[in-house]
Each structure stands twice: as C-alpha cells, then as structure tokens.
C-alpha cells in the first residue's frame, strides 16, 4: 500500500516537514510504502516545501534592524520567503510591531541578492508579513529596476485580497489600530496612483495584489506575475502525480476552517484526490464546527483526540499517535 503524507504547517507548533515526519513515525511497524511531501500555500513554509534553504543573507528587518534571512538558489531558480526578511514574527508579533513604519526593504534586498547570484526565475512567497507598505520598500531596495529585465518574478500568494483592501483585512493582525488602518488605506491609495505614474500599472484591480500588505501589488507594478501559492507549489513538486499514484493521502494543518478550501493546502489536496478517487485523511489541530467535510475526506482532530493542551504542547507526539492509529486501521 502506498501512502502519501503531504501536510501544511501546524502554525506555531510544527512546520510541514516536522508534521509529515511525525505522522510517518506512526507507521514504523507497518509495511506500507510512504512518501513524504511537505506542502505550503505561498505563506510560511513555502521555502521548505520547495527544497529548503541553502543560503543565508543579512538584510534589513521589518523594523530596520538587521536580520539573517534564509533563501534558496539552484539551477537558475531562487526561492525567497518574505517572512524570513520582513515577517511579523521578526517584529515581535502584533504587540512588538510598528504597523506604520514596518517595511519590505529586506525582501527587496533578498530579491536583489538572488539576481546577483544568477537567478533567472525568482519565486517569492509572501505570507506572514509585518508591513503594509504596498511593496514600496522592496521596490526601492531593488533599484535600479532595469537590472531585472528578463528576470521572471513569480509571487506566490496565499490570499485573493486586493491592494486597497489589505489594511482593513490584515491590519488588525499586524497590530494596527482603527486610525492607523485608515492612514494605511490612504497611503496605499496614493501609492497606487504613484505606481500608475511610474510604471503604468493600476494594481488596485488585481486579484492577490493585497497579499503581504500590498507587497504583491508593488511587485506586480514592476512586472511580477501573481499566482496562487498552492498551485505553484503543487506544480513545482509534482503533487498531482504523487496523489494519483497513492492508495491513501494524508494531509493536514493546524486549524481547519472555510478558508482551508479556498486556495489552501488541505482543500487543494482534496480536490486533486477527488479527481482520482483517492481517499484522504485530514489530520488537523482543531476545526470550525461549521466546516462542511468534503466527500472522500476523513477528518481527525488532535484537540478532540487528545485534549487542547497536549494537542498544542505535544503536537509531534500526537501526530505520531494518529499515524499509528491510521496504520492499525489499514
């Protein structure tokens, strides 16, 4: 029996690779054939899903202090995770962040380093940002932009939010007050006009342009292509072929909700599996009670199985126990 284990991260407790390995450990006494494929949707974990880091660069952090950012380059393709350079966690979370001054400069510096290292195709995962600067910091750090002629910039987005909606949608998560959100909205409106004047691109109507506080829109203004992160990752790792050749697929994430079926990992995996009539087990930390479980998907919750405290404090042990339970039931 061939089992594909392809989870997303369990935010705050286990990244996708750790989660996949923990589930696999539960099959240690089973004779099944396991394939591990940690996944991501363009947010945190995209770098790991696409091969992991092999470079580290010192860049400007979200609040101006230097940070060490991991990234990857191989075969003319670079993978950058903006959270490594401009992420909210680097700013100390919403309580430590300054929503008005947080910048994407470090992400632009990473993109420039990738270009200098010979990358012709640069994938930028844009989840988990501290900033709502519309990508202006990144663009200024990339100048002169003529250097990027012939470079394919691909922005892996985990949301469909548009440019001017970014402050209201994501501002509270980044510690912005109501007044600060209104100011950020006015700033992005003016910035969108500047992008039209400087680059001839109106980013306000572009789907996904609000990702990462408008970083996606800023990069689109200078010629980047905005794509759904899950679709890009799935294509890069040949997920469909792996699902089609499996007998059972195990996926999962920290919290299952309606958005899990809107361009996210669990929903994407289930959609592919349904095409090939492959059963799916979704192992999640917890889930919203109003979520409709799709046909062909079995849902297992760590909180329901072990209780809330163990589910969060001992996530890997719980995942291994669930893997063991699934192995026994096969």
- The predicted pLDDT at position 330 comes to 85
What digits encode the pLDDT tens for the residues 180-210? Answer: 999 999 999 999 999 999 999 999 999 999 9
What local confidence, expressed as pLDDT, does residue 43 receive?
87
For residues 153 and 214, give the distance between their C-alpha atoms in angstroms, rounded to a whole number: 16
Domain layout of the chain by residue ranges: 2-38+238-329, 46-230
The class that CATH gives domain 2-38+238-329 is alpha beta
Contacts 24+ apart (CB under 8 A), 320-323: 320/22, 320/23, 320/25, 320/26, 321/26, 322/23, 322/26, 322/283, 323/22, 323/23, 323/24, 323/25, 323/26, 323/27, 323/250
Residue 51 has pLDDT above 90, yes or no: yes
Q: How confident is the model at residue 263 (pLDDT cuts 50, 70, 90)?
A: confident
In the 8-state DSSP scheme, what is residue 314? S
- Please state, in angstroms and rounded to a whole number, the distance separating the CA atoms of residues 302 and 287: 10
pLDDT tens for 76-85 read 999 999 999 9
Report, as an integer, the average pLDDT of 250-261: 95
CATH level 2 (architecture), domain 46-230: Alpha-Beta Complex (3.90)
């Amino acid at each position: 029996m061939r089992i594909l284990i392809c989870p997303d991260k369990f935010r705050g407790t286990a990244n996708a690779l750790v989660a996949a390995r923990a589930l696999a450990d539960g099959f240690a006494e089973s004779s099944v054939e396991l394939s591990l494929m940690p996944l991501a949707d363009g947010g945190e974990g995209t770098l790991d899903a696409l091969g992991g880091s092999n470079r580290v660069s010192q860049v400007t952090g979200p609040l101006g202090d230097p940070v060490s950012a991991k990234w990857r380059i191989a075969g003319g393709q670079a993978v950058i995770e903006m959270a490594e350079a401009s992420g909210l966690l680097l700013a100390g979370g919403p309580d430590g962040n300054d929503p008005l001054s947080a910048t994407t400069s470090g992400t632009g510096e990473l993109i420039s380093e990738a270009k200098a290292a010979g990358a012709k195709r640069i994938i930028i995962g844009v989840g988990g940002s501290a900033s709502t600067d519309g990508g202006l910091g990144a663009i200024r750090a990339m100048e002169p932009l003529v250097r990027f002629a012939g470079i394919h910039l691909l922005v892996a987005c985990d949301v469909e939010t548009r440019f001017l909606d970014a402050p209201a949608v994501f501002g509270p998560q980044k510690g912005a007050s109501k007044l600060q959100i209104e100011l950020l909205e006015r700033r992005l409106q003016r910035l969108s006009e500047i992008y039209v004047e400087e680059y001839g691109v109106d980013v306000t109507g572009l789907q996904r342009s609000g990702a990462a506080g408008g970083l996606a829109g800023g990069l689109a203004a200078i010629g980047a292509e905005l794509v759904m992160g899950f679709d890009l990752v799935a294509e890069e790792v040949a997920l469909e072929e792996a699902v089609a050749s499996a007998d059972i697929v195990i996926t999962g994430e920290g919290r299952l909700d309606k958005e899990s079926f809107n361009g996210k990992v669990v929903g994407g995996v289930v959609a592919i599996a349904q095409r090939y009539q492959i059963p799916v087990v979704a192992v999640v930390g917890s889930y919203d009670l109003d979520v409709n479980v799709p046909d062909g998907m079995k849902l297992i919750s760590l909180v329901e199985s072990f209780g809330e405290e163990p589910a969060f404090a001992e996530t890997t042990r719980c995942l291994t126990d669930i893997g063991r339970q699934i192995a026994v039931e096969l």
